[in-house]
Amino acid sequence: MAKPFHLDVVTPEKKLFDGEADMVVLRTVEGDEAFLYDHIFTNAIIGDGTLKIREGEQGFKYATCKGGFVKVNENGVTVVAKEADWKEIKEDD
């Protein structure tokens, strides 16, 4: 498994996720992008799509995500979304 990093996922109304993850995948305006530990520092605008959070052996959690931005720095990954909510999804979706 990949090395974990700190991940925050927030919206104007709530904090959806605050914890350790070893991978996060989301849709930017340029396409889907995955972030792992020690990713190059990045700021990107996110589009509408599925946010996938992998917590090691526990597997993936899925959320809908609409607009906002993602920031990657030495403290980890922060996703600031206009809207985000947990959803049930099958692995092949």
Has residue 16 been placed in a domain?
yes
Q: pLDDT tier at 19 (50, 70, 90 boundaries)?
A: very high
Closest CA to 46 of 17, 11, 1: 11
Work out the average pLDDT over 9-20.
97
93 lies in some domain: no
Distance CA 89, CA 76 (A): 26
Q: Is 0.75 surpassed by the pTM of this model? A: yes
Q: With a cut of 80, say whether residue 88 has pLDDT above it.
A: no
What's 56's domain CATH number? Answer: 2.60.15.10
Write out the residue range of the structural domain in which residue 28 sits: 5-86
The string of DSSP letters for 40-77 reads: PPEEEEE-SEEEEEE-GGG-EEEEEEEEEEEEEETTEE
Domain count, the chain: 1
